[in-house]
Amino acid sequence: MPNSKNVILEVKNLSQHFKTGVGKNKIYNKAVDDVSFKVYEGEVFSLVGESGCGKTTTGRTIIQLYQPTEGEVIFKGVRVAAGFRELKLKRKELVKEGNLEEVKKIDEEIRARKEDNKKNNFELMKKMQMIFQDPIASLNPRMTVKEIIAEGLRIAGERKEDVIIKHVNEALETVGLLPEHATRYPHEFSGGQRQRIGIARALVVNPDFIIADEPISALDVSIQAQVINLLNDLREQKGITIMFIAHDLSVVKYFSNRIGVMYFGKLVELADKEELFKNPLHPYTLSLQSSIPQPDPRYEKIRPPKIKYDPRQHDYSVDKPTLKEVTPGHFVYCNDKEFEVYKKKVAQNTKNA
């Protein structure tokens, strides 16, 4: 459970649009659109959704593998990434009007944001690390395990070989591998061990915050449990905050404190895990929950029918939806009319309980 209510990461109106095509055929693919959330220190925050809904893009934007289109990422109170497309558009208009003073102000703002994006602050940035989805593709086959793990240290400025070896061995031990594994190459390991190497690479710089991008979906059942247990231990022993990206709701429910549900680039629901499973409000969350397979044949025979989510069921033609807080800590993406309905529903549910 989160020890404190200290915000470690804040994402404000983050958007990530990908541009494809030229001229007439130019298309903006809104992979992430206006997503805001906070991650508290020591907790596990999960993002779930179907493939292509933008959860991985969110993670990669936070750690600055992409330059955000719009919005800000604030890590430990420092802005580490910011987008400025809207400012640029505004500037264009102002230049047309001839309001030069305002233009100057905006120029300064853009310059400041660009400066923030340059990742000058190594000490801060190395506190944020990522574990990638595919343990086979994310490890360089030509590097030994030691080189893979030490790469982060070297980039952060460590030059002494003995210190590097010490850190590498420590990291290997934490994830349950042996120091003699360091001289081997990735192909000599099994899937679960490779994922451990990926975790060791993230851990070697002593991070406070880890983004785990589907770390278990490429693994076997028995090995999944090993990795989940390892991540659980890390959280308990080192107090590392984890942002967990997955599409398997039963794993997410088991592992995390708070859950955000994403659908086509939007954060549609955000709540504590108990709250989310007790009072699911957004229809997409309902459909996700109704389709979890249970390891129980008797239940499966009589289970309620699965709900299909159709985004056309919302009428957003007049009233535009936003992320609204229905009960404290429980946010739903809806418009005013739906907001009232959801509120009633929660009241009803608590009454019944």
Q: State which residue, 185 or 277, has the beta carbon closest to other proteins.
A: 277
Which run of H or of E encompasses 145?
Answer: helix 145-155
Supply the minimum distance, in Å, between the C-beta of residue 133 and other proteins: 13
Q: Which whole-number Å values give the CA distances from 146 to 149, 196, 328, in the listed order? A: 5, 13, 46
Tokens standing for residue 272: 């504590």
Supply the minimum distance, in Å, between the C-beta of residue 284 and other proteins: 9
Supply the minimum distance, in Å, between the C-beta of residue 304 and other proteins: 8
Q: State which residue, 50 or 151, has the beta carbon closest to other proteins.
A: 50
Whether the CB-CB separation of 224 and 264 falls below 8 Å is answered with no
Supply the minimum distance, in Å, between the C-beta of residue 160 and other proteins: 35
Whether the CB-CB separation of 51 and 38 falls below 8 Å is answered with no
Q: At how many degrees (to 10) do helices 145-155 and 161-174 cross? A: 120
Q: At how many degrees (to 10) do helices 85-97 and 100-117 cross? A: 160
Supply the minimum distance, in Å, between the C-beta of residue 121 and other proteins: 36
Which residues are CB-neighbours of 265 under 8 A, at least 6 positions away? 30, 31, 32, 33, 35, 53, 54
Q: State which residue, 173 or 336, has the beta carbon closest to other proteins.
A: 173
Q: State which residue, 98 or 295, has the beta carbon closest to other proteins.
A: 295
Complete DSSP assignment for 68-82: -SEEEEEETTEEEEE
Q: State which residue, 121 or 349, has the beta carbon closest to other proteins.
A: 349
CA–CA dist 224, 210 (Å, integer):
18
Q: State which residue, 13 or 217, has the beta carbon closest to other proteins.
A: 217
Q: State which residue, 17 or 247, has the beta carbon closest to other proteins.
A: 247
Classify strands 44-48 and 241-246 as parallel, antiparallel or unpaired. parallel
Supply the minimum distance, in Å, between the C-beta of residue 302 and other proteins: 5
Whether the CB-CB separation of 9 and 73 falls below 8 Å is answered with yes
Supply the minimum distance, in Å, between the C-beta of residue 199 and other proteins: 14
CA–CA dist 241, 5 (Å, integer):
12
Contact residues for other proteins (CB under 8 A)? 50-51, 190, 192, 220-226, 228-229, 232, 247-251, 253-255, 277, 287-288, 290-300, 302-303, 306, 309
Supply the minimum distance, in Å, between the C-beta of residue 2 and other proteins: 15
CA–CA dist 194, 219 (Å, integer):
10
Supply the minimum distance, in Å, between the C-beta of residue 234 and other proteins: 14
Which residues are CB-neighbours of 34 under 8 A, at least 6 positions away? 13, 14, 15, 70, 71, 266
| SS3 at position 198 | helix
CA–CA dist 243, 213 (Å, integer):
8
Q: State which residue, 5 or 299, has the beta carbon closest to other proteins.
A: 299
Q: State which residue, 48 or 164, has the beta carbon closest to other proteins.
A: 48
